[in-house]
Structure 1
Amino acid sequence: MPTTHTSQSPVTLDVAPAPLYRLLDPDLLSTREGLMDFVHHEPKPPDLADCAPSGTKLPDTDVRMMYHGNLPCVSTPDVTRGLLDARRTLRTNRFRRVGKRMSMVIDGCAGKSTLLAQIARAYQGLLENERRPDREWTPVVYINVPPRHECNLDWSLPFADFFGMDHTLNLDKRTYRSTDMTEPVIHTMRESGTSLICIDGIDRIHSNDLTKAFAYFDSLQARLRASVIYCGNGAVDIVEEALRHRRHGERPDQSEQFRTTLPVMRIRRIPFHEGQQDAWRTVLMDYDKNLRLYNHVPGAGKLLDFDTELHARTGGYMDTLDQLLCQTAQQSIEDGTEAITQEGLDDMVVGRGDLEDDWA
């Protein structure tokens, strides 16, 4: 997944975004050790004084090459707003003594997973301000929808994997069979104080599996009294369809007039219309500050010279902007330019209409 960015540092949950190069690696976030590493690790941009001199032929694994391959997160208005909305909902959920805690939904364009990861990090950071973490305490569980999810047996496995539980039985020393891990998972989450479950990639749930999947998630939520955030392409429609199936046979109520009864956090592309240029230019300035190139002065605003062109080429989508700037920065290191230039940008192909129509 791409990295999404916003216009000002999201301090709504008292923890700033983590510029972690492996930010959205599913294998990182969907294990307890990986999520803890993401929560606590805050790498700094490389210091040019400690790097190889300009013009040095560098391998792809050079620290500056890797750094510019995944620049630190900056903020977009939608991520900032999403963190604020999540803080308010989770704060209320924490102190409800009875009844179900409110679930939330993240929908929209590329960047949804980044918001989900930042909420997970910020929520745990907030709780760590109240108590010292230990090896057992796990307030946040983060899973990705697995490729197989047809019954409770399958749905328990990503939760078991998160905690590193062995869920296979060796039948004849050659064949392995997974076993239902629901009860061990619930016991572990209770003992470790889990209060937030983040479920990414719900668009991978097949339509005929929705009822079973959400019945399972609802059962976990009810037994643990945890908050749940669902994230994925078309998440609003997916979640609401699942809820409609679960309400089948119940007496219709006033809520049927609404598209969804849950809070929705949306990620949208950033506009660049007359009178709406500030958010886009702020994002470019944040990128500008993060670049570590020998012929670039961080924070001097050089990227603002390309604001109109960059928006035209990317459409305001942060995944495309990130790819374009990362590629151009890496190439500038390789060819010795050491700056974002017009020629460098023109030489990059990253999508959003970059391909010519006259291939013939």
Structure 2
Amino acid sequence: MDFVHRKLEPPDLQDCAPQGTKVTDTDPRMIYHGEMIPVGTPDVAQGLKDARRALRTNRFRPTGRRKSMIIDGCAGKTTLLLQIGRAYQGLLETERRPDSEWTPVVYINVPPRRESNLDWSLPFADFFGMDHTINIDKRTYRSTDMTEPVAHAMRESRTSLILIDGIDRIHDSELTTAFDYFDCLQDRLRVSVIYCGRGAIDIVNEGLHNRRRSDRPGASEQFRSSLPVMWIRPIPFQKGQEEGWRTVLQSYDDNLRLYNHQPGALLELDEELHERTRGYMDTLDQLICQTAQQAIEDETEAITKEALDDMRVGRNEPDDDWA
């Protein structure tokens, strides 16, 4: 995972184009404010803590299948999934020097075709950069089942954690095949698996029990998960629960690199920002990033209520009727 070693550093204003200088979209500050440094939330912090505890126990179990985990909830699930992978590999790297053969964490997205072991083996093969096509008469190509090469690669590279994103793309008819495949990998390789996606708690539990979602009565809250679940939820902002939201805004506030930004300015807009985003981190991130880039372009170099109102990012727009 190249993501593990990627570091996003905020630019120093002293090294940037002087205030008032017209810049292009490829200016370092424009690029930085298009992504900014990831901001932790209470749910992400708790998820990282829960994952670390479970993975630590899994590492030292000599026998038996390692406990899997689930990430469910709203937007932000993939952020937690990748942060867990990054933290886990970072921890292992304190114990041994990384090399080209060592791949402790594997990350895949659920592929578009998933009807057999062949289909499930391909995203793992792609992760390892394996060629999985056969040339037929030098005109057409087809893929071949890569399960054995993948299992060998993971065993040789001492893979101990598999991250599966987009689990919600598995259809009911595919549940048995998918989880038979995941079970096979776990039994052969002794790896931990984290499943991530909207409604993942239902999908994973029904997959593990060979049941179709359409056959299960009742809401997900009525079906207890046999695996630990890490939830990503909108951040509340109401009396007695202001701290989490304001802590998030403080992190964004500290990370801004605008010439006219006054420390604490985002905290003064806490109600406005929550009304616009309803506490969803993906919307908040888009709103702040877009507004910061616009502030650089129009040379105001600050985030204001007027600037926020001019942005369109979804959830609740300025003209929405809250009644």
Give the Cα separation in 1 of the matches to 2:157 and 2:298: 51
Q: Which of the residues 254, 266, 274 maps onto 1:303?
A: 266
User: Are positions 1:215 and 2:180 aligned together?
Assistant: yes
Give the Cα separation in 1 of the matches to 2:114 and 2:282: 29
Partner of 1:354: 317
**1:246 positional shift:** 6.9
Q: Which of the residues 194, 200, 203 maps onto 1:229?
A: 194
Q: Which of the residues 281, 284, 290 maps onto 1:327?
A: 290
Q: Which of the residues 278, 282, 287 maps onto 2:243?
A: 278
**Aligned partners of 2:71 and 2:200 also within 8 Å:** yes
Partner of 1:174: 139
What's the C-alpha RMSD, in Å, of the aligned pairs? 1.5
Partner of 1:197: 162
SS at match of 2:209: helix
SS at match of 2:155: helix
Q: Which of the residues 80, 87, 93 maps onto 1:122?
A: 87
Partner of 2:216: none
* Percent identical residues: 74
Moved over 4 A (4+): 355-358
Give the Cα separation in 1 of the matches to 2:181 and 2:320: 48
Q: Which of the residues 156, 163, 176 maps onto 2:121?
A: 156
**Cα shift readout 1:187-243 (whole Å, capped 9, x = no counterpart):** 010000000000000011111001100100110011000000000010001111112
User: Are positions 1:106 and 2:71 aligned together?
Assistant: yes
Give the Cα separation in 1 of the matches to 2:260 and 2:17: 14
**Aligned partners of 2:8 and 2:37 also within 8 Å:** no
Q: Which amino acid aligns with 2:309?
A: D
Q: Which amino acid aligns with 2:228?
A: P
Partner of 1:342: 305
Give the Cα separation in 2 of the matches to 1:80 and 1:41: 20
1:353–1:43: structure 2 CA closer, same or farther, 3 Å change rule?
closer
Give the Cα separation in 2 of the matches to 1:190 and 1:246: 31
1:45–1:139: structure 2 CA closer, same or farther, 3 Å change rule?
same
Partner of 1:259: 224
**1:258 positional shift:** 5.3
Partner of 2:35: 70
